Amino acid sequence: MNTILNLAEMSKAEKIGAMESLWADLCQNENEIDSPAWHENILQDRKRRVKAGTEAISDWHVAKAMIRKAAQ
């Protein structure tokens, strides 16, 4: 099935809603998805920055609310 989204005509809120729908669908079968090799390096780098105090972690619900607010 090919689905074409006219991204140029979608609002930021609609785009984020589409991403959330895709993410929710992908998460239903997360064991079937392999993370790319570079992902481990990114995660380790972020852990180092958090430990060093140069980066903070936000709760996902808080972060999502901030993203939604910025998209409006």
Q: What tens-digit pLDDT sequence spans the chain (72 residues)?
A: 788 889 999 999 999 999 999 999 989 988 888 889 899 999 999 999 999 999 988 899 999 999 989 988
Please give the Cα distance from 48 to 8 (Å, whole number). 38
Burial category of 53 from C-beta neighbours within 10 Å (exposed 0-12, middle 13-18, buried 19 and up) = exposed
| pLDDT value of position 30 | 81
pLDDT at 4: 86
Whether pTM exceeds 0.75:
no
Nearest-Å Rg of the Cα atoms of the chain is 16
pLDDT of residue 50: 94
Beta-carbon-side half-sphere exposure of residue 24 (alpha carbons within 13 Å): 6
d(CA 56, CA 48): 11
